[in-house]
Every structure is written in structure tokens, then in C-alpha cells.
Amino acid sequence: MTQRLQTRRSFLARAGFIGCSLAASPLLTPVSFAAAPWDTRLVVIILRGGMDGLDVVRPVGDPAFAGLRPKLNDAAPALPLDGYFALHPALGALMPLWQNGELGFAHAVSTPYRDKRSHFDGQDILEAGTTEMTNARDGWLNRLLQHVPGVTAETAYAIGIGDVRVLDGAAPSASWAPNAKLKISPQAVRLAELIMEDDPALHAALSEALMLVDGPAGAKAPRLKGAHRNIARFAAERLRGDARIAAFSQNGWDTHRAQQNNISRSLVELGETVLTLKEELGPEVWGKTSVVAVTEFGRTARENGTGGTDHGTGGVMIMAGGAVRGQQMFGKWPGLDEASLYDRRDLMPTRDVRAYLAWIMHGMADVSQATLERDIFPGLEMGDNPNALL
Amino acid sequence: MSFKPELAEIRFGYGLSPRLPPVRSIDTMLQAVSSPDQGASDFPIAGYDALAATTMVYNRFAKHARQNPETSEGEKSREKANALRDETAFVNTKWFAATHLRRIHGQQNFRERLVAFWADHFTAQGKGSLLRFGTSGYIEDAVRPHVGGTFAELLSACLTHPIMLQYLDQEVSVGPNSIFAKRENAKARGLNENLAREALELHTLGVGGGYGQTDVRELAELFTGMSRGSDQRFRFKEKLAEPGAETVLGKKYGPKAKMDSIFEVLQDLALHPDTAAHIARKLAVHFIADTPPDGVVAHMQAAYTKSGGDLMATYSAMLEHPLAWQVPAVNMRPPEEFISSAMRALDVPASAFASLDLKKTRQLFFTPLNLMGQPWQSPAGPDGWEEADAVWISPQGIAARLQWAFSTPKRLLDIMPDPREFAHHALGATVPKRVAFAASAAETRAEGVGLILTSPAFLRR
């Protein structure tokens, strides 16, 4: 909460100057600002609800797998990846990316969160990037921004109506939804800004809204079908410009029952999101882009009694983009025999998901390992470089 | 400094009305919760049974249509089913209107706020063509009558309601050793721990509470049997129930009659010290500030414990504590409360809602609420809406509030109020200087009203 307020306050310094002259907004005249601090692009998708990694990327080569999930596997036959693992058919639209080396997966990963299996704490830890629950509310992407030079309020975007906390914190960042609009008279704008001066947090939000609502022409393109596509297009539009980071979330992964209906819908959306990003970014920017999708936890190794799975531990992280060294599986496979499971029920995590994220940030933004382990993901030991980037 | 009439309406109700006087005392506020329910009789909302009955008819038509595809008979049934679905979607807009009219025209708004608070604490949403409109009926049956009772009563009513049993998958959970599981080995179904986990984590002890995975599992086994019949109402299905006793938090339940054991465990969970702490804090966070004064929380927790989880005693402890009134107005009004309070300040008449069809209700309310970040009755998960103020201060959310405040009031009223007077209707005796200036400097009445409604003094309480 305090952290968030600080964000808004630090933004306020800029907002004040914009209040004097909206035309001088860096968003309207990007050339007036120094070039962005680095040239690669990072898209972070938070998958809320606990994505079932064992269903999305199935270890069909593991002798115990078939017995754990007789019904789930039968309901939707998978597409072979590397012989040992196979991809859920609803993500089939991304197979060309896999074949093209632009899609990879890290399996048996998790955050350090254990045992209580709460969505809400699990998501908080995932976005905070910490080892355990703390009261601090800043996110790891924001701490990255705090450690690279030349960051402006448009270097990173949190996109959508839902709350994305991974960008919360003291470094400036922008937040917007592609379907937001604001049509009021210039006089009303002036008076609204005046009234809000009593309240720094609200004033900063208003100033940001006033800047973003008149965004580039692309914002006025006809709406695509599905909110997720519009979010992806908006992200791409920003990333083609001065933005380097975009973060948003996708719901719909809490598949306690009728999993094949529900997870398929979510996977199709996720696939469309990635393909929209690729298309809208264009080949050149896509070539510098890494898209990572992470979730708060995986789900039980066994299917439950209601055609679904319950909250678990280890899961899968998805990596896509022209900057990714794809067509391969990362991570050490723990096995699925009962003794190898975590708590005899969940996929055993063999690596902290933050290690992959840290190595990607190390490669993309040239942040030192020491900074990553101390400040961005406190308490993390990054270990060997998985070389997930080209 | 403690009780103040205007603050009572703003902080603990839906703000001020230009026509209705504010409450006179803490006693009046509490009596508004315990006396006959005026809002429910002035602006009725059907309970869940009505929807259950319609759903049965709908299901019959839909099934007949499925079984007779591409025949004129099947086509007729499909049309009838669709008509029922459309009618229910329309009636749902009337439930939306009634929910807000109670707040606009009521004088028991502490009750209305409590109903919204507990409906959120026990978030549940139906699924399916018709049951997705089941939230209003659920609130009317399971939440509203119990907000002045004990927490155990409220908990039991919510966790045994068909909409909750459907929402958190309890209705399909099968005891591993139940008659059903033994008999139907071929399509073995089993336990689903969704409701049991949320009952401990969200509804009672809280995520920091002293429970573990084994408690979740045992409670899930204890809950088996609670389900929904083909009449869409609660039904205890003995065949699904796990036989034998279960141990939750060290205490053994059963093997006697299952529903008795379930009510017993809910009673015990309600009285658990972690629950007292969790509930006291959550109420204080909601009504007072994200970081409420420890003194208020401790006082409420003590009252909860001493009274055996009596909610009136807990509310009373909050209201009688001077700090509940002294903390400055920092809490953001969440979007739905924001539009209710705006319409109360504007004194929007019931007739303004009478002519709204589904399309207009979407335009004026549902879509704006989506953009503000609070789609009506549709939080993303069982943890309901965020209490943290920062969540409600996003640029896109503030833009959506401005857009609504500038454009919607003039579509609800024949005559817009003079902004200089309206500032007092909305904010009370003390109007901040900048707001007073803006109210007089605005180019139109609609803009003046919009500016007042989006002033920090109105957005926070």
C-alpha cells in the first residue's frame, strides 16, 4: 500500500509538469526522450488460478503419468513435443512456434510458496518475487526497473482492468486498459485536475489517464474479438514504441472440475494472445521479444473425483518469442511415482521459477546476477544459466 | 470525537441523501440492522427458490430440444427455453435496480452495507444458463436475513446454499469410501476439496490460521453429501457421503448424522479464536481503513469472542470505539458503492429504473462497472473484491468513474441539480474549497455534478 503510494508520488513529479502542458507529455512526443535503456522486449503474463502444468505439457514418457490421469488424458489427446513431453491440443495453434524454435517450457517449477496452497497468497508471492509472504507490496518487475538506467513512466505497462501487482513499486510505470475511454470537455479536465490536487494518488491516476486516453492512432483501430486479443494488441503497440515491458493477467485456470472444457478455453485464449503479440509486434520486434507465462502453483498429480485437479505445487512455465531458445524443454524432471511427488500428491518442484525469470532478465536487460539475487528476487540462488535466450 | 450523523451515513452507509435525514445515533444504526427489513419490503428481490423453479422448467425445454434436434417440436422447445433465459436476464436487471434503490431510498443503510460486505465475504456465483443469475437470490436467502445474527448462523446459511455448493464444486464431491464410489467404480468420482479449503482460508480462520492440508482434506470428507437436487435446491445425498468420523483441528466429528456434524464443525470454526481475529480485522479494514487502528480491532475481537460470535455485539464494538470515527477518510469507495452513493446524492427516483431494459442497463451500469474494475456480482474468485485502496486508483478505473459521473446522471434525472447545492447534497456541510470553486466554474450542470462526484472527498470515505 505504501509502496503503491510511493509509485504514485514519484509519478506525480512528472504529472505536475504534464499538468502545465499536456502537449509536452513524453507519450505524445516520444522523440524528446532519451532512447529506452535496452532494446529487448519482455511480456509477462500472470496466469491466475493455478494452471495445471501436467495437463498443458504432459510427461507422456513418464511411466506413472497415464495411471494418474486416465480420464483427463483420454478426453483430449496431446501433440508430441520432444518424445517425452506432449502439448495440450488446445495450445496446438502454437505448434508452429515450437517447430520454429520460438516456444519452450520449463517444467517442474514453482515459486518458493508451499503447503497452504492458497491462490491468493500464491499469487501475491509470485508477483512480489519474494521467498515468503511479506507486507511489502512491490513487484519484481518494478524492482527490475529500479535497477536499470533511463527508465521512464512508459518503459513498462500494466495492462487491463484486473489488478497486476508485478509492476507495483517505487519505479514509474504505466497502467491502462485498451477499452477505457474518457470524453469530457477541456474545461472539465482542467477543473478535475484542480480538484484532484488535494489528493496526490488520485491526481497521479488522473494525469496518467489523461495522457493515455489520447494514445497513438492504433488505439482507435476496430476492436478485435475477445478482450485478451485487444490487450495483446495494445501491449504490442506500446512495445513497438518506447515500452520495453508489458504485464497482464489471464484468469480461468482453477480447474477443479470439468477441466478439459475449462482449461481448453483458457489455453485457446493464451495461444491467441501469443499469436496476436507476434503478429502485431512484427518480425523485427518479435525477434527481440520474450513472452513468459507463469502461474501461482501447479495442480495435484492425480486427477480428482470430479474430472479436474486440486491445488498443487510444481507446474510449468511457458516461454515464447523470437528471443527465446525454443523447441526445448528446460528443467530436471523429478518423476511421478508416488515417492517422488511433493507431499505424495503434487509434482515436485526441482527449480525455483524465479531462477528462469532472473536469467531471462539478466540476458535481456543486462542486470547483474548479484542485483538479481539480492534486490529483485531476494534470497534466490540463480544457479546455472539455463540459456533460455538466444 | 465519536458519532457524527453525516459521517455515519458516509462511512457506514451509502452517503448522504438530499431528502432523507442522516441517522441520529449509534443505536439508530444498530436498530436499522435488527428491526424489520424495510428495504426488502420496499424493493423486493425474489429468493433463490423462484429461480430454482424457473430453472427446472428451462431444463425440461432444453432437454427436449436436445433430444429432438431439427424437428419443429424441438425448435419450439428451444424457443421456449431461450425465452425463459432472456426473461431471467431481464429480471436480473430488476434485481440490480432493487439492490441500488434500497440504498438510494433506504434509511437502514448500515444494514445494506453489511449485506454487501458479507455477500462479498461469502462470494458465490451460479454457473449455467439460468443459475448464473442466482447471486441475488443467494444473497437474499443466505446473507441478508443473517447479518444481524451470529456468525455461525450466517456461515451455515451460506455454506449450505445450493449456489455456494455449485460455485465451489461441493455438489459433485464424492467420499472415497461412499456408497456411490463403491458402486460406480467404472467412472470413479472422488473428493473435491475446493469448498473445504475456502471455508478455512477465506470464510473462517483466514489464511494465516492454524490449519493444515490434513484439516482441509478431513473437512472435505465431512462436507461430502451436501449437494443440489434436480429441483435445484439443497439436497443431502447420503450416497455421496464419506462414512465414519473426520478429525478437523484435532476434534472428531461423527460418525453420527452428517448434517449435524457439518453444523457442529461450522459452529466450532465460527468460534475459533483465529476466526474472531480474522472477522474483526476484515470488518475494520472494510469500514475504517486498510490499516485500521489496532485498538478497534482488538475491541471488536474481544466483543466477538465474549458474545460467542454475535455479529451485533461485534458491530456495536466497532461503532462505539472513538477511533472508528477519528480515522480520516482514506478508504476508497469501491465502484459499486460509488454509483449507489452517487445516485443517493442525486436522489434518483425508482421511476428512472422502471424504463430500463437489458440494453440500457448494460450501457448505464454493467459496462461502466466493468471498466471501473468491478463487474456486478462477478469477482474473479471466491476471495471477492479487494479491500486495498490502491487497487481502485488505477488510471483506467478513474477514467471510467469520470466517464460515468459526467454522462450517466443526466440520463437518470429529468432535471439536473444546481452543482453549488449538489456539492452539499453529496459532501455534507463541509465542501472543500476547490470543489466549491469547480462546482461554480463548470460549464454545464452535468459537468459540475460529474466533478463533485469524482472529487477525492466523494471518492473516499
Within-domain flag for B112: yes
* Same domain for B138 and B215: no
B193: chain A residues, CB-CB within 8 Å? 304, 310-311
In the structure grid, which three cell numbers stand for residue A44, read together? 509477462
Q: Is B460 in the A-facing interface, judged by CB distances under 8 Å?
A: yes
- Interchain pair A310, B172: CB under 8 A: no
Q: Give residue A134's pLDDT.
A: 72
Q: Give residue A369's pLDDT.
A: 96
A187: chain B residues, CB-CB within 8 Å? 441-443, 447
Of B337, B354, B303, B345, the closest CA to residue B431 belongs to B345
Q: CA distances (Å), A114 to each of A39, A131, A313, A314, A342, in order? A: 36, 10, 7, 10, 10
- Interchain pair B395, A175: CB under 8 A: yes
Of A4, A168, A182, the CB nearest to B399: A182
B436: chain A residues, CB-CB within 8 Å? none
In the structure grid, which three cell numbers stand for residue B22, read together? 442522516
In the structure grid, which three cell numbers stand for residue B166, read together? 455449485
Which residue among B237, B255, B271 closes a domain? B271
Percent helix, percent strand, percent coil in chain B, to nearest 5:
65, 5, 35
B-facing residues of A in 122-161 (CB < 8 A) are: 137, 161
Of A48, A118, A306, the CB nearest to B380: A48
* CA neighbours closer than 13 Å in the CB half-sphere of residue B216: 22
Secondary structure (H, E, C), chain A: CHHHHHHHHHHHHHHHHHHHCHHHCCCCCHHHCCCCCCCCEEEEEEECCCCCHHHHEECCCCCCHHHHCHHHHHHCCCEECCCCCEECHHHHHHHHHHHCCCEEEEEEEECCCCCCCCHHHHHHHHHHCCCCCCCCCCCHHHHHHHCCCCCCCCCEEEECCCCCCCCCCCCCCEEECCCCCCCCCHHHHHHHHHHHCCCHHHHHHHHHHHHHHCCCHHHHCCCCCCHHHHHHHHHHHHHHCCCCEEEEEECCCCCCCCHHHHHHHHHHHHHHHHHHHHHHHHHHHHCCEEEEEEECCCEECCCCCCCCCCECCCEEEEEECCCECCCCEECCCCCCCHHHCECCCECCCCEEHHHHHHHHHHHHHCCCHHHHHHHHCCCCCCCCCCCCEC
Q: Exposed, middle or buried, B407 (CB in 10 Å: 0-12/13-18/19+)?
A: middle
Q: How far is B183 from chain A (nearest CA, A)?
A: 14
A-facing residues of B in 391-420 (CB < 8 A) are: 391, 393-400, 402-403, 406
Q: At what angle do helices B419-427 and B433-441 cross, to 10 degrees?
A: 150
Is the peptide bond prior to A200 cis by the omega test (within 30 degrees of 0)? no
Task: Determine the Cα–Cα distance for residues A188 and A231; give it in Å rounded to an integer.
Answer: 29
Q: Which residue of B has its CA nearest to A194?
A: B434
Within-domain flag for B325: no
The CATH architecture to which A34-179+229-376 belongs is 3-Layer(aba) Sandwich (3.40)
A206: chain B residues, CB-CB within 8 Å? 395, 398, 402
- Interchain pair B456, A311: CB under 8 A: no
Q: Give residue B93's pLDDT.
A: 97
Three-point CA angle A279, A229, A153, nearest 5°: 85
Q: Give residue A287's pLDDT.
A: 97
Q: Give residue A10's pLDDT.
A: 35
Q: At what angle do helices B5-12 and B26-34 cross, to 10 degrees?
A: 40
* Same domain for B373 and B260: no
- Interchain pair A192, B402: CB under 8 A: yes
Structural contact between residues A68 and A243, judged by C-beta atoms closer than 8 angstroms: no
Structural contact between residues A227 and A48, judged by C-beta atoms closer than 8 angstroms: no
Q: How far is A209 from chain B (nearest CA, A)?
A: 5
Of A175, A188, A202, the CB nearest to B447: A188
Q: CA distances (Å), A300 to each of A170, B181, B217, in order? A: 37, 20, 13
B-facing residues of A in 261-320 (CB < 8 A) are: 304-306, 308, 310-311
Q: How far is B185 from chain A (nearest CA, A)?
A: 11
- Interchain pair B189, A256: CB under 8 A: no
Q: Is B225 in the A-facing interface, judged by CB distances under 8 Å?
A: no
Q: What is the pLDDT along chain B (461 residues), one digit of tens a residue?
A: 589 999 999 999 999 999 999 999 999 999 999 999 999 999 999 999 999 999 999 999 999 999 998 899 999 999 999 999 999 999 999 999 999 999 999 999 999 999 999 999 999 999 888 999 999 999 999 999 999 999 999 999 999 999 999 999 999 999 999 998 888 654 567 899 999 999 999 999 999 999 999 999 999 999 999 999 999 999 999 999 999 999 999 999 988 778 999 999 999 999 999 999 999 999 999 999 999 999 999 999 999 999 999 999 999 999 999 999 999 999 999 999 999 999 999 999 999 999 999 999 999 999 999 999 999 999 988 999 999 998 899 999 999 999 999 999 999 999 999 999 999 999 999 999 999 999 999 999 999 999 999 999 999 99
Which residue among B271, B298, B319 closes a domain? B271
Where do the structural domains in chain A lie, given as residue ranges? 1-29+186-222, 34-179+229-376
Phi, psi of B191, deg, nearest 5: -75, 145
Q: Is A384 in the B-facing interface, judged by CB distances under 8 Å?
A: no
Within-domain flag for B194: yes
Task: Determine the Cα–Cα distance for residues A312 and A307; give it in Å rounded to an integer.
Answer: 16
Phi, psi of A184, deg, nearest 5: -135, 160
Q: Is B192 in the A-facing interface, judged by CB distances under 8 Å?
A: yes
Domain that holds residue B267: 166-271
A-facing residues of B in 353-392 (CB < 8 A) are: 370-371, 373, 380-381, 383, 386, 388-391
* Same domain for B187 and B139: no
In the structure grid, which three cell numbers stand for residue B130, read together? 439460468
Q: Give residue A366's pLDDT.
A: 85
Task: Determine the Cα–Cα distance for residues A332 and A349; give it in Å rounded to an integer.
Answer: 9
Q: What is the pLDDT along chain A (390 residues), one digit of tens a residue?
A: 333 333 333 333 333 333 333 333 334 333 334 456 788 999 999 999 999 999 999 999 999 999 999 989 888 889 999 999 999 999 999 999 999 999 999 999 999 999 889 888 899 899 999 988 776 678 999 999 999 888 888 899 999 877 788 998 889 888 888 888 888 888 999 999 999 998 999 998 998 888 887 655 444 567 788 889 999 999 999 999 989 999 999 989 999 988 999 999 999 999 999 999 999 999 999 999 999 999 999 999 999 988 999 999 999 999 999 999 999 999 999 999 999 999 999 999 999 999 999 999 999 988 999 999 999 999 999 999 999 999
Q: Is A49 in the B-facing interface, judged by CB distances under 8 Å?
A: yes
Q: Which residue of B has its CA nearest to A251?
A: B380
Domain count, chain B: 3
Which residue among B252, B271, B290 closes a domain? B271
Selected for mutation to probe chain A from B396, B437, B460 (highest A CB count within 10 Å) is B396
* Same domain for B192 and B129: no
Within-domain flag for B445: yes
Of B163, B138, B162, B143, the closest CA to residue B154 belongs to B143
* CA neighbours closer than 13 Å in the CB half-sphere of residue A381: 3
| DSSP secondary structure of B100-166 | HHHHHH-S-HHHHHHHHHHHHHT-----STTGGG-HHHHIIIIIGGGTTSBHHHHHHHHHTSHHHHH
